[in-house]
Amino acid sequence: MVSSFVGFAALAKDAGVTVAQAVFMTGIVWALPSKVVFVGAILAGASLPAVALAVTLSAIRLMPMVMALVPEMRDERTPRWVLYVLSHCVAVTSWVLAMERLRRVPRAMRTTYYAGLGLTLIAVNMVVVAVVYALADSLPSAVSAALLMLTPMYFLTSLWGSARERAGHVAMILGLVLGPLFHLLLPEADLLAAGLIGGAVAYAWHRMRQNAAA
């Protein structure tokens, strides 16, 4: 996870984002895909409505994760505001760790456990982004280029390995193919178009397989 934020810091600096903005995004947006979509849209020169819609669609994927995690954390005395705050800490890494380990934590201590896990991950990666951003100018160009590649490599490998359905792999392949194509055809909405079309085709293919099997 830290290695992916190293790549994000290099990407943010290359896009002209200030160190304060990059660190602020790390703490407030937190989920890395949304930040990568945001910075990528800046580099592509996308319009503000297109950026907002793309980032929103990227963040929606966290809703099912929150819905699965909250019942595991709360008890009858847990205040709602605590759950709202902890929902901000949900990202793939913290969610996977929590779902694996919360059942071994006494229910009354689960919100405390997840607060420590989630907030520590956020704080550590805010520091990582600030440090890497400050050092980026002193690094050789080959190292800077390698840092930029860490983030997409992290997502490609983690998403490919964690996909439960073959449709996830199909969607990723379509995204890799359609992304460069739409960058040429619709540079202001390339990420949004590639994601919507690739995801829709993968979902339709998945439903066709289910119907054929039934």
> pLDDT of 16-58, one tens digit each?
889 999 999 999 888 888 888 888 887 777 778 888 887 888 7
The whole-number average pLDDT for the span 160-172 is: 78
Tell me: pLDDT of 147 over 80.
Answer: no
CA 118/CA 123 separation, integer angstroms: 9
> pLDDT of 113-131, one tens digit each?
999 999 999 999 999 999 9
pTM for the structure as a whole: 0.70
CA 129/CA 131 separation, integer angstroms: 6
* φ, ψ of residue 76 in degrees (nearest 5): -70, -15
CB 76 within 8 A of CB 63: no
CA 56/CA 200 separation, integer angstroms: 17
Instruction: Identify the CA nearest to 7 among candidates 151, 164, 191.
Output: 151
Tell me: pLDDT of 192 over 70.
Answer: yes
3-class DSSP state of 91: coil
Tell me: pLDDT of 213 over 90.
Answer: no
Pull the structure tokens for residue 160: 């490919």
What letter represents residue 140's amino acid?
P
